[in-house]
């Protein structure tokens, strides 16, 4: 597709596929929500871009929560949702480029921020580690 193409059908397809894949068995943290967020940020109008991960998560979380024995929405999920919105923001920086180097850098940055933010939320919320610098580092 060239730069003048309409990316909405591709984004809608990725959102639906992202939801389906998220509902299928997969390794932890291996669902394509982050990549769909990055793509949406790069190719969709701003309001639609931010809507993609929110809709994807809001539709699939209530379905997955009973399987995990968790509430449909918790304070911890705020960290995950914010991380995907940051991925959209990172994708917005790719709007004017098709540079493989910039896209690769954005992908790594998006993955890294997801790891840091959600691990911080896990440390803060679940109390699995001591609430000090050593516990955070662990």
- Parse the chain into domains and list their residue ranges: 8-137
SS3 of residue 72 by DSSP: coil
Instruction: Tell me the C-alpha distance between 77 and 31, whole Å.
Output: 15
Question: Long-range contacts: 29-35, Cβ < 8 Å, 24+?
Answer: 29/114, 33/57, 33/84, 34/83, 34/84, 34/87, 34/110, 34/111, 34/114, 35/107
Confidence of residue 72 (pLDDT cuts 50, 70, 90): low
Of residues 134 and 53, the one with the higher pLDDT is: 53
Length of the chain: 138
Confidence of residue 122 (pLDDT cuts 50, 70, 90): confident
Q: What is 8-137's CATH number?
A: 1.10.1760
The pLDDT-based confidence of 4 (bands split at 50, 70, 90) is very low
Measured CA to CA, the distance from residue 134 to residue 65 in angstroms comes to 31
pLDDT tens digit sequence for 10-54: 777 877 888 888 888 878 777 788 988 999 999 888 988 999 999
pLDDT reading at 1 higher than 60 = no
pTM, two decimals, is 0.83
């Amino acid at each position: 597709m060239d730069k003048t193409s309409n990316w909405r059908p591709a984004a809608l397809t990725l959102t639906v596929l992202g939801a389906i894949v998220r509902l299928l068995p997969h390794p932890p943290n291996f669902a394509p929500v982050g990549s769909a967020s990055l793509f949406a940020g790069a190719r969709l109008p701003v309001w639609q871009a931010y809507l993609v991960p929110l809709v994807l998560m809001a539709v699939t979380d209530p379905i997955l929560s009973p399987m995990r024995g968790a509430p449909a929405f918790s304070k911890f999920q705020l960290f995950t949702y914010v991380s995907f919105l940051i991925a959209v923001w990172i994708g917005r920086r790719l709007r004017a480029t098709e540079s493989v180097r910039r896209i690769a850098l954005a992908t790594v940055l998006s993955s890294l921020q997801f790891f840091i933010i959600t691990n911080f939320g896990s440390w803060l919320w679940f109390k699995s580690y001591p609430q000090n610098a050593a516990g955070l580092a662990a």
